[in-house]
Structure 1
Amino acid sequence: MTEHKPHLVVVAGVIEKDGCYFIAQRLENASQGGLWEFPGGKVEVGETPAQALERELYEELAIRTTTGVWLADSVFDYGDKVIELKGYLTQWQQGDIQLNSHQQMAWVALAQLDNYCFCAADYPIITALQDHIALVSESTS
């Protein structure tokens, strides 16, 4: 008998500002507690991924954003659930960041992302971000 695990579609925003990227550390008592992530959350019924991401970033960080280019999908089995994570480049429009569901935040350069311990599902998004930045810099040089 195959065990049926919840399959959650989750969105993550890669927010860039002045050449750095916003990452947030999950609360210790949360699932994947203490690990770093690109913030976001679950896509609710009837929402597009972009709508979900903009709503989640407002709920979690109190900022208004616009969803940009899709970077990658990452499917990861955490044992108790399967997460399908969709990562998007995201533009910050307005608001001051408030940590409503994280314990710490950081703005880090692309090369510094390796210094943080991320949730497993976030790693393919980091790789896609690195590839995207390399492509963009190639096309502008």
Structure 2
Amino acid sequence: MSRADGKTEILVVAGVIEKAGQYLLAQRPVDASQANLWEFPGGKVEQGETPEQALERELFEELAITTRTGCWLADSVFDYGDKVIHLKGYLSHWQAGELKLHSHQDAVWVQAGEMAEYALCPADLPIVEALLHR
């Protein structure tokens, strides 16, 4: 989507995957935008998809797991200079599969209160806040 300022706005979804009281953070690859930062995994919403459908597809593609999208947590709009990301964060429930990292270099399970110890992508910070205030 093009904005009035000429920048492209990209709709992206992120899954706050909960399993046994912990949440999954994934580390972006060294050669990607926002290299080495931690994020809630997810990706772009494709034309014709709902955000929930996109999230379940992306988590399967990136992590080889099946999830069920739960409640919406927060939206975040962040200007990265060359593009604007509109990130929609949802609670996601692990259903099946064994975690395999296809798009990330590392992943950790953390308590909600431990997330501040990780260098998170700026767009993910409002989602962390929403999770902490649930």
Q: Is TM more than 0.5 here?
A: yes
Cα distance in 2, alignment partners of residues 62 and 123 from structure 1: 25
Secondary structure of the 2:89 match is strand
Residue in structure 1 matched with residue 11 of structure 2 by the alignment: 9
Q: Counterparts of 1:112-127 in structure 2 under 5 Å?
A: 112-127=114-129
More helix by share: 1
4+ long deviations beyond 3 Å: none
For 1:8-27, what aligned pairs fall within 5 Å after superposition? 8-27=10-29
Residue 128 of structure 1 pairs with residue 130 of structure 2: yes
TM-score, length basis structure 1: 0.91
Amino acid at match of 1:5: K
Question: What do residues 76-133 of structure 1 show as CA deviations (whole Å, max 9, x unaligned)?
Answer: 000000000000000011000100000000000111101000000000000000111x
1:70 equivalent in alignment to 2:62: no
Give the aligned partner of residue 85 of structure 1.
87
CA RMSD of aligned residues (A): 0.9
Measured after TM superposition, the shift of residue 16 of structure 1 is: 0.8
Gaps in structure 2 of 5+ consecutive residues? none
Displacement, 1:18? Answer: 1.4
* Cross-structure match for 1:110: 112
The one-letter code of the counterpart of 1:126 is V
Choose 1 or 2 for highest CA Rg: 1
Amino acid at match of 2:70: G
1:32 alignment partner in structure 2: 34
Q: Percent identity?
A: 63
In the alignment, the residues of structure 1 paired with residue 46 and residue 78 of structure 2 have an alpha-carbon distance, to the nearest angstrom, of 19
Q: How far apart in 2 are the matches of 1:20 and 1:113?
A: 10
Report the TM-score when normalising by structure 2.
0.96
